Amino acid sequence: MFKEFFLAVVYNPLYNGLVFLIDVVPLADVGIAVIILTLAVKFILFPLTRGAIRSQALMNAIKPDLDLIRDTHKDDRQEQARQTMALYKEKGIHPFSVIVPLFIQIPIIFGLYWVFLKGGLPNVNVDVLYSFIPVPTNVNMHFLGQIDMAGKSIILALLAGATQFLHARLSMPKLSAVSGERSFKDDLAKSFQFQMRYVFPVMVAIIAYTISAAVALYWLTSNVFSIGQEILVRRTLGEHKKLL
Give the pLDDT confidence of 52-82 residue by residue, as tens digits. 777 777 777 777 777 777 777 776 677 777 8
- 47 cis-preceded (ω within 30 degrees of 0): no
CA distance 116 to 122: 9
Task: Find out whether 133 and 193 touch, Cβ atoms under 8 Å.
Answer: no
Express as a percent the part of the chain with pLDDT over 90: 17
Give the pLDDT confidence of 85-137 residue by residue, as tens digits. 887 777 777 666 666 666 777 787 778 778 776 666 788 888 888 989 998 88
Give the pLDDT confidence of 173-202 residue by residue, as tens digits. 555 555 555 554 555 556 666 667 778 889
Phi-psi region of 25 (alpha: psi -120 to 50; beta: other; left: phi over 0): beta
CB-count burial class (<10 Å; 0-12, 13-18, 19+) for 193: middle
Q: Write the single-letter amino acid at 175.
A: L
232 has pLDDT over 50: yes
DSSP code of 183? P
Domain extents for the chain? 2-242
Please tell me the pTM assigned to this model: 0.75
244 has pLDDT over 50: no
Q: Which of 46-55, 72-81, 220-229 is the most confident on average? A: 220-229
Express as a percent the part of the chain with pLDDT over 70: 78
Q: Alpha-carbon dihedral of residues 90, 92, 95, 101, nearest 10 degrees?
A: 180
Count of positions (residues) in the chain: 244
